[in-house]
Chains A and B, each alone.
Chain A
Amino acid sequence: MKPFTRHRGVAAPLIRVNIDTDTIIPSREMRRVSKHGLADGLFAGWRYLDTPGGKRENNPEFVLNKPHYAGATILLAGNNFGCGSSREHAAWALVEYGFRAVIAPGFGSIFHGNAVRNGLLPVKLPEPAIDALNEYASASPETNRILVDLENTTVRGAAGDEFGFVIEPAHREMLLQGLDAIAMTQQHLGLIEAFRAADRQRRGWAYLDAGQATTPALIKASISVSVKSSS
């Protein structure tokens, strides 16, 4: 994962509340068993016009299709950005498109985690701060760039306009160093083994690997057993 320390870039405003992950990348755009090839599908429902024959035509009204925002790498968004489905495709599509940070008053929890895992910085700022950044950036998007500084946890817009933000220390650390969660946890295999050995004694009922239900005959039998109704 690409580390995030500081980034200065063009900020595009998409200030709507509850932008869900279905909107960020619709189901129909997730066409292959792959984490790639998703940038074209980003915001597809808003970004393209409905044209006969299925050929895509850009919707000139959509912010990312406006020439000034062609190189946008920072997204300014409304509250609860990335709510809904857990699809990590939303984070992959934003990163593949070129976004490095999303600034919003709040994020959907699963999206937030997915963003961090993929080097996309979720910056939580209150609405007035986002409005101020937007006012500055939209006056001249290509020149009035926004600086996002994760080392100092600040966002800078107009001269003298600096906003501090809060991020979980663990997330900050991972992003700053571009750390891989699996590689980090692999250092704790001993702890995991020890936990498991003790846990098995304590909660033997929770373990299936030596349990009854992994017996093929029992599984087979269970298929034909009619299930109890719940109410």
Chain B
Amino acid sequence: MPKTLFEKIWQDHLVADLGNGSHLLHIDRVFLHERTGSIALTGLAERKLQVRNPAHAFCTMDHIVDTRPGRGDETAMPGGREFITRTRQETRRAGITLFDINDPRQGISHVIAAEQGIALPGLTMVCPDSHTCTLGALGALAWGIGSSDCEHALALETLRVIKPEQMAVYLEGDLARGVTAKDVMLHLIAEYSASGGRGYAIEFRGSGIGQLPVEARMTLCNMAVEFSAFTGLIAPDEATLDYVAGRPYAPVGDQRDAATAYWRQLSSDDGAVYDRELRVDLADVEPTVTWGTSPQHAVGISGRVPDPGNESDEAAGRAMQRALDYMGLNPGTAMSSIPIDAAFIGSCTNSRLSDLRAAADILEGNKIARGIKAICVPGSSRVKLEAEQEGLDQVFRDAGFEWRESGCSLCFYAGGEGFTRNERVITSTNRNFEGRQGPGARSHLASPATVAASALAGFITDARITGN
């Protein structure tokens, strides 16, 4: 019987069918960070359990660590230091590799797991962080878990999982110039709602995948969780194999040959069946921006803030009205006229080198609008270094952006820094929830190009019109 990519990886990791719908799956890699990883390691120690295979577990400092230049263990968050020192102590005790604050490999977990070759095609990987699905872009089965499951994965190299249903999202055709993977995901979620992919293992496939660079595929899979999916994944192709080759933790020599042979057959068979199939015609997607407090509150940049009165679903209409009240917006307002106070480029969604290049292309030789607070936070210390080698930091600085150290930073409030009440932020991040970027802060999700163009103009702006 023809199998899907997901089915193949699942079966290759199936230790036992536990009955009652539950399966015991082997977990190849566990990634931790200082916020929830510290708790999982502490929980394990309290139960007098050991990390079963420390060589397959890694940890970074990304969530709470300060991103302001000259940082140390102190953070803007009260009590933040405890997370950092405890993580250092617990990872050392467990024998886990830690990418500490001043390690040149430090960065956002999902960025560096790919960068270091820790995530590989065909592996299972978990992290107590919902955006672990990012790594599905490499053809890994990677998903976010809670602390209890994390303790289980660390102690027993396995997880008890109920097998998810499968969805195929076909991306067909060509993206228009200036439209990105971020726009595709906001478009998809707006169309089918933030719960449209709930519980599914989603394979992104179709003719549109091949044209997307691997980093853009990471943006696609990253946002799968905003679609409420179990995870997103993409079959590895030659671009994936090329991306993986030579990474520090990737296999070498004979093992590399064996891995490559395995990876080359790792795709869905013709005729494989999915529980649900969706299709996005890429030509229909324009730069897309959110107007509300859920990723489903998104609209093309040439569109307007919708009217809750026109919503047929009553609950959704009420949520829209609440969102408009929170966001301080009126129905019918043209999206590309909304003034902003701040611009943020960063996060596991859009902080890789290609994202910074796209923003810098627009910023080069220009200045941000007067009074705008603009911040760029590279996704890893390595991305930061590479960007600096290309002179991108100077482009950002000259335009008026702050240039930060790597971490999750102002994507959310964990590090203790936030935008202020009613401050309107155009942001390359993944969540526009109430209070996500600071109590009362108003977030508009968009691609790095849209963020850059909007920072220059001082209002939400289509990068294709105003860009260089």
Q: A residues within 8 Å of B by Cβ?
A: 15-18, 20, 22-23, 26-28, 30-35, 45, 50, 78-80, 83-88, 91, 106, 108-110, 113-114, 117-118, 127, 168-171, 173, 181-182, 184-186, 188-189, 191-192, 195-196, 199, 202-209, 211-214, 218-219, 222-223, 225-231
Chain A residue nearest to B247 in the complex (CB): A227
A–B pairs, 29, beta carbons within 8 Å:
A16-B319, A18-B194, A18-B296, A27-B412, A30-B35, A32-B82, A33-B38, A45-B434, A78-B315, A83-B194, A88-B146, A88-B147, A113-B145, A114-B149, A168-B21, A170-B21, A170-B162, A171-B162, A185-B156, A188-B16, A188-B18, A192-B15, A205-B262, A206-B28, A207-B56, A208-B55, A227-B115, A227-B382, A231-B354
Give the shortest distance, in Å, between B351 (CB) and chain A (any CB).
13
- Check: B20 CB closer than 8 A to any chain A CB: yes
Residues on A with beta carbons closer than 8 Å to the beta carbon of B242: 228
Determine whether the beta carbon of B56 is less than 8 Å from that of A209. Answer: yes
Residues on B with beta carbons closer than 8 Å to the beta carbon of A223: 103-105, 248
Determine whether the beta carbon of A83 is less than 8 Å from that of B144. Answer: no
Residues on B with beta carbons closer than 8 Å to the beta carbon of A78: 315, 319
Given contacts A22-B436, A206-B120, A211-B251, contact A33 B20 (CB under 8 A): no
Determine whether the beta carbon of B412 is less than 8 Å from that of A114. Answer: no
Determine whether the beta carbon of A15 is less than 8 Å from that of B315. Answer: yes
Top 3 A-B residue pairs of the complex, sorted by shortest distance between their CB atoms = A231-B213, A222-B248, A88-B146
Determine whether the beta carbon of B28 is less than 8 Å from that of A127. Answer: no
Alpha-carbon distance between A197 and B123 when the two chains are bound, in angstroms: 17
Using a Cβ cutoff of 8 Å, how many contacts connect chains A and B?
A: 244
Determine whether the beta carbon of B256 is less than 8 Å from that of A199. Answer: no
Cβ contact of A181, chosen from B19, B104, B152, B230, cutoff 8 A: B152
Determine whether the beta carbon of B435 is less than 8 Å from that of A45. Answer: yes
- Check: B271 CB closer than 8 A to any chain A CB: no
Determine whether the beta carbon of A110 is less than 8 Å from that of B243. Answer: no
Determine whether the beta carbon of B42 is less than 8 Å from that of A33. Answer: yes
Chain A residue nearest to B38 in the complex (CB): A33
Most buried by B among A50, A208, A230, A231: A230
Give the shortest distance, in Å, between B33 (CB) and chain A (any CB).
11
Chain B residues bordering chain A, tally (CB within 8 A):
111
Residues on A with beta carbons closer than 8 Å to the beta carbon of B15: 188, 191-192, 195
Cβ contact of A169, chosen from B20, B145, B412, B414, cutoff 8 A: B20
Residues on A with beta carbons closer than 8 Å to the beta carbon of B249: 208, 213
Alpha-carbon distance between A223 and B117 when the two chains are bound, in angstroms: 13
Give the shortest distance, in Å, between B230 (CB) and chain A (any CB).
5
Residues on B with beta carbons closer than 8 Å to the beta carbon of A110: 130, 144-146
Determine whether the beta carbon of B215 is less than 8 Å from that of A192. Answer: no
Determine whether the beta carbon of B24 is less than 8 Å from that of A185. Answer: yes
Determine whether the beta carbon of B386 is less than 8 Å from that of A205. Answer: no
- Check: B170 CB closer than 8 A to any chain A CB: no
Residues on A with beta carbons closer than 8 Å to the beta carbon of B162: 168, 170-171
Chain B residue nearest to A208 in the complex (CB): B55
Residues on B with beta carbons closer than 8 Å to the beta carbon of A22: 412, 431, 433-436
Determine whether the beta carbon of B21 is less than 8 Å from that of A209. Answer: no
Determine whether the beta carbon of B316 is less than 8 Å from that of A28. Answer: no
Given contacts A18-B195, A18-B294, contact A205 B258 (CB under 8 A): yes
Chain B residue nearest to A194 in the complex (CB): B15
